[in-house]
Amino acid sequence: MAVTPYRALLVVVSLAVLTGCASTSSQNASRDAGDPYFARDLPGLPGGWDPMMSPVDNPILEARRLGNPPPALVRQALLAQHERWEGTPYRLGGSSQHGVDCSALVQNVFAETFRLSLPRTTGEQAHEGRPVSRDELAPGDLVFFRPPGIYRHVGIYIGDGRFLHASSSRGVMISKLNNSYWRRYYWQARRALAPSHLAQRLLSDVDA
C-alpha angle 51/108/113, rounded to 5°? 40
* Beta carbons of 73 and 63 less than 8 angstroms apart: yes
DSSP state, 133? -
Catalytic residues: 102, 153, 165
**Do 45 and 59 form a contact (C-beta atoms < 8 A)?**
yes
Q: What DSSP letter does each residue of 52-120 carry, written as one string?
A: TS-TTT-HHHHHHHTT--HHHHHHHHHHHHHHHHTTPPB-TT-EETTEE-HHHHHHHHHHHHH-----S
Taking residue 35's Cβ as centre, other Cβ atoms within 10 Å add up to 10
Measured CA to CA in angstroms, residue 37 lies from 86, 117, 193, 197 at distances of: 12, 30, 29, 31
Residue 170 phi, psi (nearest 5):
-130, 5
